[in-house]
Structure 1
Amino acid sequence: MRDLISKFRIKSGFYKLKQEIKKISRKNKSVSLKAAQYIGILVTVKDQKQLDEVEEVALELKKANKKVRLLAFTSDLTLKLTSNNNIELISNEDVDWNFIPKREKIINFVNNEFDILINLCTEICFPLVYITALSKSLFKVGAYHKKNSAIYDFMLATQQQSISGFNTELKYYLDKIK
């Protein structure tokens, strides 16, 4: 029964997302990692180890003189940020019953015009899919999922499950864009 309710909630969220996508138009263009100045990152974080990985990714980009803003979805509200790298944590408290993000910090993230928006989730996390779809970013990048192919400008099929592993693969290909 719980599974059925969850499927209904997600289906309702995807229906609402399709309605929202019809209302927007955006300009898109391929942007290399080298050329990007402002990078947005979305990721699902399950534990402190993953949060530390994400903070390391953000720090690495900052060292390369990139402005980075990161939004991490978590169900563990006890996680602690070890640095202030423009990382914001969101949880189920920040989404409606159909998993649609509702807080102002999320809306502000969507309205940023990042040069590249990177979704580091290797599994579908609907709130982050929603944010990606409505983002005004020039170039949207993420893991390959057939269901989300209309949302991204570049998708990478990967076997990586770790954040840092997927990030390394993604950087390899983003560095090849001219």
Structure 2
Amino acid sequence: MSFFQNILNQLTELKIRSKQKKNPRKKEFHNLESAKNIGILFDTLQENNRSIAKNFAEDLQKKGYKVQIVGWINADELPNFGVAQKILFYTNKDIRWSGEPIIPELIEFTNNRFDLLFVLTKSEHNSIKYITQVSMAACKIGSLGDNCEHLDLMIDQGKNNSIENLISESLKYLSQIKKQ
């Protein structure tokens, strides 16, 4: 990591901690029975992530959950697929250098108190880190990795780091855990 990138990361962490102090979230565990409102955050770094995340959201909606889905595109302009879908896509122009959202829809997503937030990426992009860490979601679920301390339920995927496996394992554990 370059010296400049290291300084940017440290400044981003300070900004995130400041935001978290001003708006502390109320942690509360939810399982699939208690959850009603679900958020999904993913990246489009792999071509098939978009269709997998969209199908996951549609399956949850069919089961009666209220679902919002956000996808990061590592570009400055929105490709053609970003229009006419039920997914909020954001690009590098929609965030500050720190990863902080500047478009109202993304700010609203971050401030929404989801029962469950599925973080379907291991990306270390500042916007993914910022949204995940600042999110007001009651329970955050994602993959076990180097920067997962902000998650409430970490899924060890072993050697299978696919988004499909993360979804499958997350649902398996959330259906087994009983909330008292």
**Alignment TM-score > 0.5, same fold:** yes
Deviation string, structure 1 residues 90-131 (Cα, Å, up to 9, x no partner): 111111123322221111111211111111113323212211
Matching residue of 1:133:
133
Q: Tell me the equivalent position of 1:8.
A: 7
Residue 71 of structure 1: aligned partner: 70
Which whole-Å CA distance do the structure 2 matches of 1:156 and 1:83 have between them?
32
2:81 alignment partner in structure 1: 80
SS of structure 1 residue aligned to 2:127: helix
- Counterpart residue identity of residue 129, structure 1: K
Aligned to 1:100: 100
Partner SS for 2:20: helix
Q: Which residue of 1 aligns with 2:174?
A: 174
Tell me which amino acid in the other structure corresponds to 1:35: S
Let me know the Cα RMSD of the aligned residues.
2.1
Q: Distance in 2 between matches of 1:9 and 1:67?
A: 35
Q: Distance in 1 between matches of 2:56 and 2:83?
A: 13
**Contact 1:143/1:157 (<8 A) preserved:** yes
Q: Which amino acid aligns with 1:60?
A: D
**Whole-Å separation in 2 of the counterparts to 1:79 and 1:47:** 16
Q: Which runs of 5+ in 1 are unaligned?
A: none
What amino acid maps onto 1:70 in structure 2? I
Which residue identity lines up with residue 173 of structure 1 in the other structure?
A: Y
Q: Is the 8 A contact 1:57 1:164 kept in 2?
A: no
Pairing 1:1-178 to 2, within 5 Å after superposition: 3-76=2-75, 77-81=78-82, 84-85=85-86, 87-149=87-149, 151-158=150-157, 159-178=159-178
Change (3 A) 1:160 1:101: farther
Shift in CA distance, 125/177, structure 1 to aligned 2, threshold 3 Å: farther
Asked if the contact 1:51–1:81 (Cα under 8 Å) also holds between the matched residues in 2, the reply is: no
Going from structure 1 to structure 2, the CA distance change for 1:55 and 1:83 (only over 3 Å counts) comes to: farther
* CA deviations over 1:10-43 (Å, ceiling 9, x no partner): 2221121122222222222111123211100111
* CA pair 108-19 structure 1, distance change in 2 beyond 3 A: same
Relative to the length of structure 1, the TM-score reads: 0.87
Change (3 A) 1:74 1:175: same
Alignment partner of 2:136: what SS? coil
Query: Percent identical across equivalent pairs?
Result: 26
Gaps of 5+ in 2: none
Matches of 1:26 and 1:100, distance apart in 2: 17
Q: Which amino acid aligns with 1:90?
A: Y
The 1-side partners of 2:125 and 2:65 are apart by 26
Contact 2:42–2:49 under 8 Å retained in 1: no
Aligned mates of 2:64, 2:121 — CA distance in 1: 24
